[in-house]
Chain A
Amino acid sequence: MSTRAGAEVLVEGVSKSFGQVSSLREVSMGAAAGEAVAITGRSGSGKSTLLALIGGLEQPDTGQVKIDGRAVWTEPRPARARRELVGFVFQRHLLLGALSARANVEVPLVGAGMHRSERRRRALSLLDEVGLADRADHLPSELSGGESQRVAVARALANEPRLLLADEPTGALDSHTSERVLDLLFRLRDHLGMTLLIVSYDPSVGARADRTLTLIDGRIEAPQADLCPR
């Protein structure tokens, strides 16, 4: 697995509503290349929406989101921009049940049109990176919750993203397994140099991150200095 410089994230005056419900209101924040930022807040405060907007899964109603100066949503080919810049880890691992761990890691590479042998080599290398080389041929149903989430992390890293977005990645895990997954995420951040934005209720995540932002009712509550990268 090669190292790539992290991406710089800039969010400026972003608002997003779903019908009558206002999810984000005039949110501005940033993250420096390689920084790890924890985003906390109560359920419904807009954390996941913020992450989805940063990752280009949704278009903001107002404001703009840029990753290394690129607005993913307005790129001519958003899927390609997402593939080149961003990796996602969700609360649920969302592994494809009929595919082996290795094949699941290969899925993003299929989307990238990579050759089969190269896909296989990279997937095995990533599984090795997350400590699951010996489980490569196992189906998700044969893996524990923690193992499945580690496969999901490997999948998120398949396209060598410069920004890793993790949406409550330990929300469905017990405390011991959560610690292991968090260890893995922060170790990979240190090792690969990517920027990490992690949404979590877990206070220990904030302690590990370089900075913590708190969302309350769609607004970021933090000292002005904390809104920008250090």
Chain B
Amino acid sequence: MTDQRFDELRLDGVGRRYGTQTALDDFTLSIKGSEFVALLGPSGCGKSTALNCLAGLLPLTTGSIHLDDRRIDTLPPERRGFGMVFQNYALFPHMSVRKNIGFGLSMRRMSKAEQRKRVDEAIALVQLREHQDKMPGQLSGGQQQRVAIARAIALHPPVVLMDEPLSNLDAKLRLEMRMEIRRLHQDLGLTTIYVTHDQEEALSMADRLVVLREGVMQQCGTPQEVYEQPANGYVAGFMGYRNLLELEVTGGDAEHAVVEGGGLRLVGANRGNVTSGPAVAAIRPEDLVLGETDGNGIAATVRIAEYHGRELSVEATTAQGQPIYFRTSERVAPGDEVVLGVPRHRVLVFDDAERAREGLVA
């Protein structure tokens, strides 16, 4: 369905500053044709800035963007021809669904017959045939979302940019639309760049993830890489490592690190080549088990136990007040004393560059 096949969309050192504030810094990324890339991070991490720079809605402060050998960052948005799906859909409220979807085609001065054919095709793709003559205001959120997607792909753009397209939908619809977008991507081979703050969405949809923090790329890799081998404590925190314990490295080797602090002593996988100094030990709640494991034992008191059906999600605190989150199928109740264990390879030890920096300043 894509008319304009390309091999590589390349961002070189793309940066965007607002006054003294840097929204995006030295962003370099190469995207292959028909790849699905997710930009992931909390609000204010620069992911939307990156997308707007790609769409041409924001000028770059530094860097360049190339589509194969063509430099595109100097083109206005209307001449880039990228499809974009906005967070609030941005459907033209005074135009029918058909007119909305055909808007880009009529801007291209395509023949009426060709326009009709392409609009029909796009409407069929998003299954909106019975709603095609309605106005956007008469549609539900999910239907509006489909119109926005159809509008963006009717032009057969080389790249589709999606800016948190599912964040305004309810949970059930979100799951449905997630599948739908993934299906469209697979069927049409559309290169898609997808911005989200939801790591589950990013993991489930994308071929490749880019994790951003305060405008700086933290990690770029396949969902599996990012999920299993987060590059640092920040990415780990984003990937479900809810327990981020600030400890000190007291020993270990290239493979393992021993971390201590706050009455805890843990042995974990050394992910930052740290031998001393401040570190973060990252542990997923689901990796903690009741009972000491691999020499790792954390004594804690249960504070809150949330029922989740098959298991409980528990917040406990150590004697020093450090909160520990874990999941268990055992029935524990607030006030219970537990000892939690975790296998060594499930404790990721990263150097805590930030705390180290703060230490130097102080």
Co-complex (A, B): no
On B, residues with C-beta under 8 Å from A are none
On A, residues with C-beta under 8 Å from B are none
